[in-house]
Amino acid sequence: MAKPTNSSSMDQARKVQSTIVPIEDTPLRRPYLKPKNQSVEVDQTATSSRHVAANRSMPTVAAAEEKPASMPSESTLAMVTAEVIERLGDQLTNQPVDKATLKQYVREQLGQWRPMAWEDDISRNTLDAKPYENLASPASLESDQFYGSKDFVQYALSKIDDDQLKSMIAKDIYPIPCAEDREGYSPGYDGVYWMSGLVDYLKIMEVCERFGLLPRSCFDFGCATGRVLRHFAVQSNCETVWGSDINRRHVRWLQEFMPEKVRPVFNHCIPTLPIPDGSVDVVSAFSVFTHIDTFETCWLAELNRILSNKGVCYLTVHNEATWEVLREEIDNPKNRLVQSIRRVDPNFTDKLMGPMPDQRTVWRFTNFGPYRAQVFHSNNYLQRVWGRFFHIEEILPCHHVRQSVVVLRKK
């Protein structure tokens, strides 16, 4: 890693650090043509050791850089490691470093970024076999466990009455995945986790009702361990309930613990699904297009292919409405979305004070493996690009917590 030797290369390095690259809006991106020293230079405008240390666990300083075609060889890694230590060692800790320990640390970190198997670079946990630690089924939980979130309860009870809610709970005899297996949704509050999925299910059904659609089949893209999908499986009239995820551990969970009408699919980051054309009445994706940095339009085309003519597509995004909410919550250290972007873009707080970029914007926090970015879509971009694939019926601001919902139908 070479330091910039003059102010113009230093300026260039700063630019790489702070530029947000709207991936699909950039006409020509050929990162492999960039001089090598641009992509790994630390921002010299913030060289306090605290800043450098905060960034050191991030594999990518240039947030939107593409993954190199192949991983560097062992000898290149060793050389880079030695050079990093030589140049940055003392800055990282702000005191004399034990270079052997630091070298070991850097090597371990580099090792972790490398995929365990080639499949792990296009999907996740392909070699996972760890047993699950499931929790009791909703049917066997105490009823007060479901009433922990006022917002969820209020919404649910505006659509169904309390007796209906109780009978829905009683019908669900399938285990609840443990907190580690549900992507951070309501850890420690299992009834609330179940209610959050029910609310999203009811919101989809409300949209279907508006279009006079009684769905017979559905597909939840990026469904994890079925937070929403389980309600289609247990509560709806759907005969076929497809669910896919890029994380094999989640797909295996669905295979083992969901009813037989659930058809779990392990997809990879290249957009293709083993689902027949025009066969699905409801396609949903919660918090998935907010993370897909590559092949977005190919996924839209694939979802369009499987959607039935009368069907409804219900996808969540971060848009201008999200941006406004984030601005209000700017000082909340618990806001994981803001914190995750700040780590790769220290100027994000300042940017939030201005308008959201009027395009698709990607903040990528790692270059390796899938599920590695936070993505924002302006309403204008949605109309311009998503509108080529689907008819955009409505964009419901912050209809899924901070995320907005885009309701789409076939053109």
Ligand X SMILES: C[S@@+](CC[C@H](N)C(=O)[O-])C[C@H]1O[C@@H](n2cnc3c(N)ncnc32)[C@H](O)[C@@H]1O
The binding site for ligand X (CB under 6 A) comprises: 183, 185, 222-224, 227-228, 244-247, 250, 267, 269, 286-288, 291-292, 370-371
Give the Cα separation of 45 and 17 in Å (integer).
Answer: 10
Burial class of 328 by CB neighbour count within 10 A (0 to 12, 13 to 18, 19+)? exposed
| Cβ neighbours, 10 Å, residue 69 | 6
Among residues 311 and 370, whose Cβ is nearest to ligand X?
370
Among residues 146 and 219, whose Cβ is nearest to ligand X?
219
Q: What are phi and psi for residue 147, nearest 5 degrees?
A: -105, 20
Among residues 16 and 375, whose Cβ is nearest to ligand X?
375
CB of residue 290 to ligand X, shortest distance in Å: 7
CB of residue 203 to ligand X, shortest distance in Å: 12
CB of residue 124 to ligand X, shortest distance in Å: 6
Instruction: Determine the residue type at 383.
Output: Q
Tokens matching residue 197: 């999925």
CB of residue 392 to ligand X, shortest distance in Å: 21
| Cβ neighbours, 10 Å, residue 335 | 17
CB of residue 234 to ligand X, shortest distance in Å: 16
Residues in the chain: 411
Q: Which residue is nearest to ligand X (CB)?
A: 222
Give the Cα separation of 191 and 2 in Å (integer).
Answer: 53
Among residues 185 and 365, whose Cβ is nearest to ligand X?
185
CB of residue 137 to ligand X, shortest distance in Å: 18
Nearest to 270 by CA among 292, 253, 285: 292
Give the Cα separation of 205 and 209 in Å (integer).
Answer: 6
Among residues 39 and 236, whose Cβ is nearest to ligand X?
236
Nearest to 63 by CA among 128, 94, 19: 19
| Cβ neighbours, 10 Å, residue 136 | 12
Among residues 194 and 371, whose Cβ is nearest to ligand X?
371
